[in-house]
Amino acid sequence: MKKLMPHIKEFLHRADMVLFTLCFICSVFGLVVIASATATSAEGSARYVIVQVAAMLIGIFLFVLLTVLDIDVIADKWPFLAVISLLLLFILIPFGMDDGTGNKSWLRFLGIGIQPSEIVKIIFVVLMAKHVSYLKEYKNLNHVLSVVQLAVHFVIPFALIVVISGDLGSAIIFFFIFAVMLFAAGLRLYWFVLGIAGVAAMIPFAWEHLLHDYQKNRILAPYTTNIPDYETIIWQSRQSKLALASGQLAGTGLYNGPQTQSRAVPEQQTDFIFSVIGEELGMIGCCAVIVLLLLIILRCVQVGLNSKNTMSMLVCFGVASTILFQTFINVGMCMGLTPVIGLTLPFFSYGGSSIFSLFAAMGLVSGIKFRPKPERFHRYG
């Protein structure tokens, strides 16, 4: 034990313990709310709590492991990472399950579900950071061939997720990560204008030939009543808004939310956990959640700005954008402002693959702080 103590002290000194503490607080906060949200479920809260705690422990192990591993070494294994991503997505074709969501995006073993897109999302950040930094440092990032390469790099996982699993929510997050990382890398604005124009031109085709009717209706529901089965589709967000409104400033208290404890809020331990927080902990609880997640985002950005190279910076910005846009869409979904597309609230929602993937992503950021940029960068920074 005495031999380990110097290594433990060094780890605690060099790792990003501020980031870890914020993530741990969010996870424990989420665990308490999950216990309340599932207290009156048929299975009871014990199973949910045990699975979430187990996923947290795996996540903490991954945080430590990825902190001590060099991100440059990890990124150099990009062919292996790319193959793993493709295998995780293609395995959904024979074994994917929808779990009643309409999306064939889950693998289930011994009653435990794993969502491959959560793992692929983190790998995508690393691979994209590696690709963009290579083009920026050794080629011309703004050359048309570079942009085409990056577009293909993005389209492959995006299209596979949409076509194989039908999980439009996860695919949209990939789009936001892609855009933020390119912006942070210094891609010229005219490419973004052309990209927006290209996406706009593709929307009619995608709407007619790629999206299912239920996906179209979910997208339109927050903005119009002129769709089939409007009342059925809007029911989820309506129950969510009722729960949020009933909490008022301080909430009704844990295990005391009328909507939550009557199971009136759908998927209240996952997609609509923010509504449970709003009802039982009130606006104060909701603000605390948003502030905690904002601090995590800002910490990732800070580490990225102080990182040793372009790739490290892009990894941090990619992770930050994941938390940012997933939070924005989930909170908007609970408030009825954005479509219900099945995105969880980072660190708070129930989900094993989500929680350990998030801790793994934070481990990548912590690993970048673990290895500060060389002294020559500090002189000019």
Model pLDDT for residues 232-281, shown as the tens digit of each residue: 778 888 899 999 999 899 889 999 999 999 988 888 899 999 999 999 99
Instruction: Identify the pLDDT of residue 194.
Output: 93
Q: CA 53, CA 55: separation in Å to the nearest integer?
A: 5
Q: Confidence band (pLDDT; 50, 70, 90) for 286?
A: very high
Instruction: Identify the pLDDT of residue 379.
Output: 33
Residue 91 to residues 75, 87, 322, Cα–Cα distance (Å): 23, 6, 24
Name the pTM for this structure.
0.92
Instruction: Identify the pLDDT of residue 162.
Output: 85
The answer, yes or no, to whether residue 56 has pLDDT greater than 60, is yes
Q: CA 316, CA 318: separation in Å to the nearest integer?
A: 5
Arithmetic mean of pLDDT, 100-113: 70
Arithmetic mean of pLDDT, 310-335: 94
Instruction: Identify the pLDDT of residue 376.
Output: 35
Arithmetic mean of pLDDT, 99-109: 70
Instruction: Identify the pLDDT of residue 380.
Output: 32
Mean pLDDT of the chain: 88
Percent above pLDDT 70 for the chain? 95
The answer, yes or no, to whether residue 333 has pLDDT greater than 80, is yes
Q: Which residue has the tokens 């909430």?
A: 251
Arithmetic mean of pLDDT, 130-157: 93
Instruction: Identify the pLDDT of residue 311.
Output: 94
Q: CA 381, CA 112: separation in Å to the nearest integer?
A: 48
The answer, yes or no, to whether residue 123 has pLDDT greater than 60, is yes
Q: CA 32, CA 340: separation in Å to the nearest integer?
A: 24
Instruction: Identify the pLDDT of residue 232.
Output: 77
The answer, yes or no, to whether residue 144 has pLDDT greater than 90, is yes
Say which residues have a Cβ less than 8 Å from residue 102's Cβ, sequence separation at least 6: 166, 212, 214
